Structure 1
Amino acid sequence: MNSQQIQGFQPENMQIYPKRFQLLLRKMYQYHNNIESDAPLLYKAYKFAENAHKTQFRRSGEPYFEHVFETGMILAELSMDTTSVIAGFLHDVVEDTNISSNTIAEEFSPVVAELVLGVTKIGGIKFDSNQERQAENFLKMFLSVAQDIRVLVIKFADRLHNMRTLYSLPVIKQRRIAIETRDVYAPLASRLGMYSLKMEFEDLAFQYLEPEYYKALDKQIRSQHDEMERYIARFSDTIQDILKKKGIQTKIYGRIKHHFSIHRKMLRQNKKFEEIFDILAIRVIVPEESDCYAALGHIHSHFVMIPERFRDFINVPKQNGYRSLHTTVIGLDKRLVEVQIRTADMHHSAEVGIAAHWKYKESKTGTDELEKQIKWLRELVEALKSDPTNDAEFMEMLKIDLFQDEIFVFTPNNDLIKLPNGATPLDFAFNVHTEVGLKCLGAKVNGRIMPLNSPLSSGDRVEIITSNNYNISYNWLSFVKTTKAINKIRKWLRQNEYEQSVKLGEEILEKGLRRLKMADRLKEAKERFADMGFQTLNLFYQALGKGDITMRDVVNRLFRAEEPSPESESDEGGLSGLLKRTVLRTPQGIRIQGIENMMVNLAKCCNPLPGDVIVGFITRGRGITIHRSECKNIPKLQIEQDRFIDVEWDISGGKKFVTHLKIICEDRRNMVYDITDIIKDAKTNMLGINFELEGEIGYGNVAIEVESVKHANRIIAKIQKIPGILNIERI
């Protein structure tokens, strides 16, 4: 809107209003087409809030209404809609006065009342270092905000004015609010593209959290401020002259980077202020998008660019919608200057982020843009509602979404995919589709098969290799980076674990009662799950399958009056009769307390090695079988839990044990030779090797003799370094 249009809203139209309210209307007139018709309702809210808070004062001594008016003014500066500004005026009315939300709904609208209630709920949230409380409070905030993002923007405005007037509070409270602002509000503002808010939040928090550092840095900046301002003006004039000669009209704004940004550079680079060179930036505003690239070319033709600092956020916008060209050049006097090139609309969006789109809320385009920008928030809330996580998991996912930079990779069809920095091919697979991720076997990056945990880089072309079956591994959680991948993997593993536990629990109950000669009580046991403390039969089965309860617990609770079966424990009979007060040392290097004259075997299903945590299981007719504690067959053996005994390793050295290595690798010449060569160099006996191909992926099983877990791990580490090895693990 041009200056003549702004001047069209003359004082005679506004003279009935107080001067400060006129300032707010003028601010809103710059972006609001119907401000004259909305002015009476805005003024009604202004007076309503003024009357509601007329007896209230802040700690500083100023009327409380000053705060709510300034909140509304900040919302106007952010180009928010009339409803948001009204809610900003009224945001503390429900909490701090006896006026109800129903009254606000009647006087203004139900939407205004909902916004005020949303801000009130967030206002009751206190963030601290306690992870459990942090997670709970973040979730409360997001559940409220996900209904209407304006709730968060109003809270931002409220918090910003509170930070600007924080000086009047006690030091302890200053620190708590400043920490909350730095750790919660600043990253959220950044994630929503509201960079002007982010920078002010960070600087104000820095001022209260590290006052000595802030004062020292501020003094250094002030000492060079005039010189830096003169340099910015000189460099800006030079750029403007260059572009004017090329027929590109520009507006150029220069700035010194904000205090916290400079402080962070000093810490990251371990340098003093005078050693930091890239603290100046200019913004070149041009008429059209095509002018951005033309201007970039002309600037690069006059000044040397720093290649690794170039970013094209116009073709590839950030997830928060930010669009601009970034380049760093060696400017006048060989000084580094960051140059940002954008259109006026891009500039406005960069300053106020998501708030910029409210003026387009009547158009489909504006609605679509809003949905894009808050999609991540809605997805996070939905994921948490559908699959609750523990507090550590929630904070981990939130940190990923709030604090990581982005990379941009391509599908085989040249579609662009945005991922967080450090993302892997597996993250890419889940981004394409959940089923692609769950059935992922391997990946080609730029035409070459790469391990699933390989970090991707911007510009990579990624192709996912899938199978017909699910291939999920707990190990995946150790390297995926995206919220979606983490959530989907955990959800599948939990569901699969639940289903397996239910199936196993049902089997344990049936076989256990049969072994105790109580098979006729099976129907009764199934019907009495509530007597065991469970809401459903499946939860009862799950607890049995996981080992949370045992058959002894079931019999004692449900059939305690029954006579013990012949196979149950007694003083001399059953298994306890086997347990003598002796110590058995076996040729396999196993030490067992309380056993004599029994065979001992190492389980073929898990091939335990010295260094593994092990358990013993007494098997009828076959003595004691030694399993790794994490063996997949342990849950099945819990049907007869009283047959487990404690065992431990008793190795003097020199003994050899068989272990199997499961290898997934790229199909290439000499792969098997490279693997066997490492085994030979390790002076290890290889007992067998078998490989099968599925497409371009090889699946192998190698049996070798080793002395211990450490010995096996050394060989695994060497094989892992062979080019084309995608995964290797003991089985």
Structure 2
Amino acid sequence: MPETSVRPSTLPTLDPVPEVAAALERVASEYLSAEQVARVRRAYLVSAAAHDGQTRKSGEPYITHPLAVSSLLAELRLDCETLCAAILHDTLEDTGLGHAALSAEFGEAVAELVEGVTKLDKLQFRDRYEAAAESFRKMMLAMARDLRVILIKLADRLHNMRTIDSMSPGSRRRIAAETLEIYAPIAQRLGMNRIKAELQDLGFAALHPRRHAVIRRRIQSQPVLRRESMASIEAALAQKLANEKISHRLVGRVKSPYSVYQKMRGEHKSFDQVMDVFGFRVIVKSVMECYHALGAVHSLYKPLDGRFRDFIAIPKANGYQSLHTVLFGPFGSPIEVQIRTEDMDLIAERGIAAHWMYKSGERTGTGAQLRAQDWLRDLLESQAVAGSPMEFLENVKVDLFPDEVYLFTPKGDIRALPRNATALDFAYAVHTDVGDHAVAARVDKKLVPLRTRLVSGQSVEIITAPSATPHPSWLEFVVSSKARTAIRHFLKHLQHEDAVELGHRMLDRALGALQFSLDRVEPQRLEQYLVECRFRRLEELLADIALGNRMPQQVAVALTQAQGDDSAPEPQAPLDVERILITGAERGVLSFANCCHPVPGDQIMGYLTAGKGIVVHRLECSNLPEFRKSPERWVSIGWDRSVQGEYRAGLRVEVENKPGVLAQVAAAIAEAQSNIDNVEYQERDLRMAIMHFNIEVRSRKHLADVIRRVRRLAVAHGVQRL
């Protein structure tokens, strides 16, 4: 769509302004200057002209949607630039207006906000899911530059959810699932609980309409006895707080259908069990009065042991602060009470949006915004090394945990980590270098391994060693996106280095078979070949060879013929050239086949597989006849004399079927200094059983020692290697 400029003559004459626009102006005029309100009105006129003739699925004029989005943000008291960007947020995608026109008319800040919210062209991607993931990554990066991007996006999603009934059933389910999986957790992560709650309930209603309707009816039709009990408890709490001369505001909390549904599913409770809890919120003037009110309610009703949480002293990662306690009520039902100040209540409801209510930016909103910036900084690191938009989206999903654990550094600093975080997650939360060189941890001064799961209140100290480096197995137990991203980045870097080295050796061997070498290739010829193949550097070509995406013999022929030697000999299978030796230090570009499990000492061959690099097989592998059909993919390899590491091997053990047999075999394997990866019963009858073991050994000799020890067992009737 060609870009159009914003000329006064192209703007419609809209007088009087439609009611929805007038309502927006009324709210905006309560806190913006007359000049700023005029800018918002100008944005409306430009957007109305751009969307002229366009309608929503419901049949309404399209302009009603951006106006509604801007109105939601005006209720949060967002600034003039945000309101203008919200009104214009669909113009880049759906109209002829371009970035330059918006920048000239409303300033670069507004144009950047609109650009950040705009989705990408889905035709660039393989499918809708990849396009959605890339649009999400684009939005998150724009959000890292300016938090107002996500505020516009959340308001946009909220209005779309409010009007989702006009969508097709398939679209409703897809949008609702995305809302529950991504946008509601983001709103929670940013402390915007009011928007989060509405997104969750609207998403639940669209995804499971019948379940939502049933639960909503049950909530609305509570028995009279419960309503009377609620009023009685509220009156008792109010009287106690008044007697203590605590100025307060007392609010009864009503559960939403979605929160009831989640508790029923997550805690395996019935509806009556979930609803048999009374909830109240006490809002006071100061922090000291919070603790005074806590003492007052505890003196009225006895607190339940272990159910008190102090989120004022230790705020949640999204800035949420409150005292939580559970009391044993007069009717046998628990009473959940939250106590907070007015400022804390504002932050709890609006999160980072509360920051814009204070022109100075020096009050409580700032803390929430700083925490959000810290989270976004981690996301920026994550996207820098993510291999694809889908991988980045998964990283963000991992980080959107609703529950957190709060831990202490040796100096007393507090770190918030996702639920089920390990000592290694804590190490990476401190600093990437600390995580990369971690070897163990001290939790409450007790030495523990890095995979140890942590619980709130523990003090954690990380032990490092300069020689330590990340291991692929770390990815199996870390839960935070920062740790996962840092480990993947390190391993990818190592894989690239190893791929370049291995590719160099493979190309040298292929050139050697043609009585040539890489050193003899003229620089300009090599550069020409790299340009033809779209490689920026020689290292990229070498890595591509090692990963099996390009045959070294073909590259060698191309480079030798590029010298102008049309009589270059055909490449020969380089069996007589020095073999590539496996040292055990290869990472990522060389793997061992699961079909035959080669170990040091076996006769082996390498098979070049696209995307995987060299896959090592034993020469007695049953798949070898198939590999012989592609001799150009064979790679001559062998074991280095000083090869190190643990290698997987398979054992078939035939034993007597009686109690304790598995323990005896496992003990024999352990005595031979071998670890068991996996064990399965393949066959079993009244007398005999056949078990398959996957074990780790250092060499063929070590494997033979394991087999001998198992054969010595009286219960073992046969042991053979798989």
- Scaled by the length of structure 2, what TM-score is found? 0.74
2:544 aligns with 543
Q: Out of 148-157 and 19-28, give the one that drifted further.
A: 19-28
Structure 2 Cα separation of the partners of residues 681 and 92 of structure 1: 64
Structure 2 Cα separation of the partners of residues 102 and 485 of structure 1: 40
Structure 1 Cα separation of the partners of residues 303 and 433 of structure 2: 43
Does 2:372 align with 1:373?
yes
3-state SS of paired residue (2:87): helix
Does 2:85 align with 1:87?
yes
| RMSD between aligned residues | 4.5
Alignment deviations for residues 126-160 of structure 1 (CA, whole Å, 9 cap, x no partner): 99996534432321221233332212212222322
1:412 aligns with 410
Which of 139, 142, 155 pairs up with 1:141?
139
Q: Out of 339-348 and 184-193, give the one that drifted further.
A: 184-193
Which of 401, 421, 446 pairs up with 1:423?
421
2:289 aligns with 291
* Contact 1:127/1:134 (8 A) holds in 2: no
For residue 359 of structure 1, report the CA deviation from its aligned partner: 2.4
2:559 aligns with 558
- Scaled by the length of structure 1, what TM-score is found? 0.73
3-state SS of paired residue (1:121): coil
Structure 2 Cα separation of the partners of residues 482 and 144 of structure 1: 22
* Contact 1:610/1:707 (8 A) holds in 2: no
Structure 2 Cα separation of the partners of residues 649 and 49 of structure 1: 68
Alignment deviations for residues 660-714 of structure 1 (CA, whole Å, 9 cap, x no partner): 998xxxxxxxxxxxxxxx999924696799xxxxxxxxxxx9999666999999x
* Contact 1:257/1:280 (8 A) holds in 2: no
2:653 aligns with none
1:176 aligns with 174
User: Residues 539 and 236 of structure 1: is their aligned pair in 2 closer, same or farther, counting only changes over 3 Å?
Assistant: same
3-state SS of paired residue (1:460): coil
1:4 aligns with none
For residue 562 of structure 1, report the CA deviation from its aligned partner: 5.8
1:626 aligns with 603
For residue 375 of structure 1, report the CA deviation from its aligned partner: 2.6
2:76 aligns with 78
Does 2:301 align with 1:318?
no
2:206 aligns with 208
Structure 1 Cα separation of the partners of residues 46 and 670 of structure 2: 87
Structure 2 Cα separation of the partners of residues 169 and 543 of structure 1: 46
* Contact 1:440/1:465 (8 A) holds in 2: yes
User: Residues 468 and 712 of structure 1: is their aligned pair in 2 closer, same or farther, counting only changes over 3 Å?
Assistant: farther
Alignment deviations for residues 628-658 of structure 1 (CA, whole Å, 9 cap, x no partner): 989xxxx99x8xx9x98632499xxxxxxxx
Which residue identity does 1:372 align to in structure 2? R
* Contact 2:20/2:64 (8 A) holds in 1: no
For residue 87 of structure 1, report the CA deviation from its aligned partner: 2.9
User: Residues 201 and 524 of structure 1: is their aligned pair in 2 closer, same or farther, counting only changes over 3 Å?
Assistant: same
Give the unaligned 5+ runs of structure 2. 1-15, 586-590, 624-642, 647-662, 675-696, 711-722
For residue 420 of structure 1, report the CA deviation from its aligned partner: 0.9
Q: How many residues are matched? A: 618
* Contact 1:251/1:284 (8 A) holds in 2: yes
1:235 aligns with 233
3-state SS of paired residue (1:407): strand
Structure 1 Cα separation of the partners of residues 708 and 360 of structure 2: 68
User: Residues 536 and 289 of structure 1: is their aligned pair in 2 closer, same or farther, counting only changes over 3 Å?
Assistant: same
Structure 2 Cα separation of the partners of residues 56 and 423 of structure 1: 49
Which of 464, 468, 471 pairs up with 2:469?
471
2:245 aligns with 247
For residue 251 of structure 1, report the CA deviation from its aligned partner: 0.3
Which of 429, 432, 435 pairs up with 2:433?
435
Structure 2 Cα separation of the partners of residues 551 and 525 of structure 1: 18
Which of 589, 610, 613 pairs up with 2:596?
613
Structure 1 Cα separation of the partners of residues 511 and 48 of structure 2: 75
Alignment deviations for residues 155-201 of structure 1 (CA, whole Å, 9 cap, x no partner): 22232223222333443333333233222321221111111111111
Does 2:623 align with 1:646?
no
Alignment deviations for residues 239-295 of structure 1 (CA, whole Å, 9 cap, x no partner): 222122222111011121111010111112333312224554221101001211221
Structure 2 Cα separation of the partners of residues 331 and 125 of structure 1: 59
Which residue identity does 2:376 align to in structure 1? L
For residue 220 of structure 1, report the CA deviation from its aligned partner: 0.9
User: Residues 98 and 273 of structure 1: is their aligned pair in 2 closer, same or farther, counting only changes over 3 Å?
Assistant: same
Structure 2 Cα separation of the partners of residues 131 and 305 of structure 1: 48
Structure 1 Cα separation of the partners of residues 605 and 251 of structure 2: 67
Alignment deviations for residues 469-525 of structure 1 (CA, whole Å, 9 cap, x no partner): 133211111111111111111111111222233233334444664576435964449
* Contact 2:303/2:325 (8 A) holds in 1: yes
User: Residues 422 and 126 of structure 1: is their aligned pair in 2 closer, same or farther, counting only changes over 3 Å?
Assistant: farther
3-state SS of paired residue (1:79): coil
1:585 aligns with none
Give the unaligned 5+ runs of structure 1. 1-15, 577-602, 618-623, 651-658, 663-677, 690-700, 714-731
2:689 aligns with none
Q: Out of 254-263 and 509-518, give the one that drifted further.
A: 509-518
Structure 2 Cα separation of the partners of residues 54 and 302 of structure 1: 62
Q: Out of 527-536 and 517-526, give the one that drifted further.
A: 517-526
User: Residues 244 and 538 of structure 1: is their aligned pair in 2 closer, same or farther, counting only changes over 3 Å?
Assistant: same
User: Residues 705 and 333 of structure 1: is their aligned pair in 2 closer, same or farther, counting only changes over 3 Å?
Assistant: same
* Contact 2:604/2:617 (8 A) holds in 1: no
User: Residues 222 and 553 of structure 1: is their aligned pair in 2 closer, same or farther, counting only changes over 3 Å?
Assistant: same
2:279 aligns with 281
Does 2:339 align with 1:341?
yes
User: Residues 124 and 77 of structure 1: is their aligned pair in 2 closer, same or farther, counting only changes over 3 Å?
Assistant: farther
User: Residues 544 and 102 of structure 1: is their aligned pair in 2 closer, same or farther, counting only changes over 3 Å?
Assistant: closer
* Contact 1:126/1:137 (8 A) holds in 2: no
2:655 aligns with none
Alignment deviations for residues 103-133 of structure 1 (CA, whole Å, 9 cap, x no partner): 5444443323333343343798999996534
Which residue identity does 2:378 align to in structure 1? E
User: Residues 22 and 131 of structure 1: is their aligned pair in 2 closer, same or farther, counting only changes over 3 Å?
Assistant: closer
Alignment deviations for residues 33-64 of structure 1 (CA, whole Å, 9 cap, x no partner): x5456444444445555666675554445444
Structure 2 Cα separation of the partners of residues 128 and 611 of structure 1: 31
3-state SS of paired residue (1:332): coil
User: Residues 364 and 219 of structure 1: is their aligned pair in 2 closer, same or farther, counting only changes over 3 Å?
Assistant: closer
Q: Out of 424-433 and 517-526, give the one that drifted further.
A: 517-526
3-state SS of paired residue (2:374): helix
Structure 1 Cα separation of the partners of residues 462 and 258 of structure 2: 41
Aligned-pair identity (%): 35
Alignment deviations for residues 380-410 of structure 1 (CA, whole Å, 9 cap, x no partner): 13431x3232355323311111234211111
3-state SS of paired residue (2:231): helix
2:490 aligns with 492
Structure 1 Cα separation of the partners of residues 410 and 252 of structure 2: 42
For residue 83 of structure 1, report the CA deviation from its aligned partner: 2.4
Which residue identity does 2:492 align to in structure 1? R
Matches within 5 A, 1:658-697: 682-683=667-668
User: Residues 645 and 285 of structure 1: is their aligned pair in 2 closer, same or farther, counting only changes over 3 Å?
Assistant: closer
Matches within 5 A, 1:6-17: none
Q: Out of 505-514 and 219-228, give the one that drifted further.
A: 505-514
* Contact 2:324/2:339 (8 A) holds in 1: yes
User: Residues 336 and 130 of structure 1: is their aligned pair in 2 closer, same or farther, counting only changes over 3 Å?
Assistant: farther
* Contact 2:120/2:131 (8 A) holds in 1: no
* Contact 2:451/2:477 (8 A) holds in 1: yes
3-state SS of paired residue (1:342): strand
Q: Out of 261-270 and 221-230, give the one that drifted further.
A: 221-230
For residue 458 of structure 1, report the CA deviation from its aligned partner: 0.7
